[in-house]
């Protein structure tokens, strides 16, 4: 078999050289080589066609201009696609030609490449076509790539909502092709792809594809602030959370815009009514992330929604629906707000903790220290009574010292 294959390759090279010498005086050298390859390809059987195609790819003399031959092969494949698309050798032929387009950077082939993509539902063929489109980085490829990903996003979301059960008339999801499409859009880096890649974050894909969409979004160029704020206002809870995560990237928005988006996210998380258990989880995650961003930015403009958030978390904590860390975060964020209303809320909280210590003899040291430090940070004299009362209770030295330091920070 190997000897037969070797003879075919030798024959192909010899035939090309003969044609080059015979046609050289009439045609240019490049055109003569291309003509020879096309002629031999047309005459060969399917396995011989593969040999010729591989031989063309390995021909250093033809590498600069061989793209025209690859397009010739794809046009041949399109003519016989209906009859031979299930043939293994025919599929290999199409994959080799598609890959060769990318290697040769032959941009004229874009239309033929996409027609091959539509004509073949074979995953390996589609992946190779999409890879080539990413390599070519031709802007004309952006609209069809976006449309394909949009269709797959819709199909994936339908599957997700059905619990993974496809509809009877729905085509199967081709995850390798989806992944290759995302990679191609990432390579093209066009800001117009932001919406469709953003949709992929919440379309119910496996985590690996969601991460690929995230990386692709990070590679895009453009101003996405209006889009993110629009999603925060009008998107479903999962989209709101994804918008906040995207907006929190320092390379995506300036700190001022990050603060505005986080403030809007906190208000949205507080006032949006969940329609599904997943919505409730996403809205809670939206609030928690927003509070962490506001604290990081020391964004004092959000004092009143931060107070509302504290009461929500306090209630959830009492019902064991929120962990203590979330309550500690809410307390710390109140300390950042720096206004009298936040000080009053914290003073009441510390008073309740002191009463618990006095009546039952037990206390949560982390919560008390959190409230004490936040009150010291604000420095409002409203905190005097609960801070001073700590000295009358059998708290450990760490709390006593923290209370004295907080008292020293109060402004009179």
Whether residue 93 is found in the same domain as residue 73 = yes
Q: What is the pTM of this model?
A: 0.82
Whether residue 119 is found in the same domain as residue 180 = no
Cβ-contact 378, 335 below 8 angstroms = yes
**Token couple for 166:** 């496809």
What pLDDT is recorded for position 108? Answer: 85
Q: What are the backbone dihedrals phi and psi of residue 335, each rounded to the nearest 5 degrees, phi first?
A: -60, -35
> Which positions of the chain have pLDDT values less than 50?
1-27
- 254 within domain boundaries: no
What pLDDT is recorded for position 169? Answer: 56
Whether residue 89 is found in the same domain as residue 159 = no
What pLDDT is recorded for position 388? Answer: 97
- Domain housing 58: 1-136
What pLDDT is recorded for position 321? Answer: 93
What pLDDT is recorded for position 8? Answer: 45
What pLDDT is recorded for position 346? Answer: 98
Whether residue 37 is found in the same domain as residue 51 = yes
DSSP state of 272: P
Helix (H, G, I), strand (E, B) or coil at 320: coil
Among residues 301, 302, 315, the alpha carbon closest in space to that of 268 is found at: 302
Whether residue 148 is found in the same domain as residue 126 = no
Angle CA(46)–CA(52)–CA(53) in degrees, nearest 5? 90
The dihedral built from the CA positions of residue 173, 145, 176 and 90, taken in this order, carries a sign that is positive
Q: Which of 102, 136, 170 is the last residue of a domain?
A: 136
What pLDDT is recorded for position 160? Answer: 81
Q: How many domains does the chain have?
A: 2
Whether residue 108 is found in the same domain as residue 193 = no
Residue 251 to residue 258: CA distance in whole angstroms: 11
What pLDDT is recorded for position 167? Answer: 52
Q: What are the backbone dihedrals phi and psi of residue 306, each rounded to the nearest 5 degrees, phi first?
A: -65, -40
- 286 within domain boundaries: no
Cβ-contact 243, 261 below 8 angstroms = yes
What pLDDT is recorded for position 31? Answer: 84
Whether residue 108 is found in the same domain as residue 159 = no
Residue 135 to residue 137: CA distance in whole angstroms: 5
What pLDDT is recorded for position 277? Answer: 87
What pLDDT is recorded for position 104? Answer: 86
Residue 326 to residue 367: CA distance in whole angstroms: 11
Whether residue 2 is found in the same domain as residue 59 = yes
Q: What is the DSSP string of 143-200?
A: HHHHHHHHHHHHHHHHHHHTTTPPPTTPPPP-HHHHHHHHHHHHHH--GGGHHHHHHH
- 63 within domain boundaries: yes
Whether residue 127 is found in the same domain as residue 186 = no
Q: Which of 198, 222, 246 is the last residue of a domain?
A: 222
- CA terminus-to-terminus distance, the chain: 96
Whether residue 5 is found in the same domain as residue 23 = yes
What pLDDT is recorded for position 316? Answer: 96
Mean residue pLDDT of the chain comes to 89
Cβ-contact 113, 138 below 8 angstroms = no
Helix (H, G, I), strand (E, B) or coil at 222: coil
- 174 within domain boundaries: yes
**Token couple for 2:** 């190997």
What pLDDT is recorded for position 19? Answer: 43
Query: How far is CA 372 from its chain centroid?
Result: 40
Q: What is the DSSP string of 31-82?
A: HHHHHHHHHHHHHS-HHHHHHHHHHHHT-TTTTTTTHHHHHHHHHHHHHTHH
Whether residue 109 is found in the same domain as residue 155 = no
């Amino acid at each position: 078999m190997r000897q037969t294959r070797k003879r075919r390759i030798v024959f192909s090279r010899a035939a090309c050289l003969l044609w080059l010498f015979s046609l050289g005086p009439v045609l240019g050298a490049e055109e003569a080589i291309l003509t020879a390859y096309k002629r031999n390809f047309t005459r060969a059987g399917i396995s011989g066609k593969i040999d010729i195609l591989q031989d063309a790819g390995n021909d250093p003399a033809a590498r600069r201009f061989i793209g025209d031959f690859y397009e010739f092969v794809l046009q041949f494949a399109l003519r016989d696609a209906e009859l031979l698309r299930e043939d293994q050798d025919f599929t290999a032929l199409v994959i080799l030609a598609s890959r060769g387009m990318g290697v040769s950077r032959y941009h004229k082939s874009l239309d033929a490449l996409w027609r091959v993509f539509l004509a073949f539902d074979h995953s390996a063929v589609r992946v190779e076509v999409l890879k080539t489109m990413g390599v070519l980085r031709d802007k004309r490829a952006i609209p069809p790539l976006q449309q394909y990903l949009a269709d797959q996003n819709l199909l994936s979301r339908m599957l997700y909502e059905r619990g993974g059960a496809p509809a009877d008339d729905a085509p199967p999801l081709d995850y390798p092709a989806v992944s290759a499409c995302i990679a191609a859009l990432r390579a093209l880096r066009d800001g117009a792809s932001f919406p469709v890649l953003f949709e992929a974050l919440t379309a119910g894909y496996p985590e690996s594809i969601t991460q690929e969409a995230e990386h692709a979004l990070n590679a895009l160029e453009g101003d996405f602030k209006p889009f993110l704020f629009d999603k925060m206002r009008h998107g479903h809870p999962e989209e709101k959370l994804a918008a906040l995560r995207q907006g929190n990237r320092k390379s995506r928005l300036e700190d001022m815009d990050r603060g505005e988006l986080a403030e809007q996210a906190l208000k949205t998380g507080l006032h949006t009514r969940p329609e599904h258990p997943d919505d409730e989880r996403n809205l809670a995650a939206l609030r928690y992330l927003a509070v962490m961003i506001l604290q990081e930015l020391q964004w004092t403009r959000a004092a009143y929604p931060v107070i509302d958030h504290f009461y929500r978390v306090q209630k959830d904590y009492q019902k064991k629906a929120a962990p203590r860390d979330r309550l500690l975060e809410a307390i710390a964020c109140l300390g950042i707000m720096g206004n009298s209303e936040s000080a009053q809320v914290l003073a009441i909280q510390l008073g309740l903790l002191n009463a618990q210590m006095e009546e039952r003899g037990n206390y949560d040291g982390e919560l008390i220290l959190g409230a004490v430090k936040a009150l010291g940070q604000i420095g409002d004299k409203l905190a005097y009574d609960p801070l001073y009362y700590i000295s009358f209770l059998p708290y450990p030295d760490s709390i006593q010292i923290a209370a004295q330091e907080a008292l020293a920070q109060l402004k009179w």
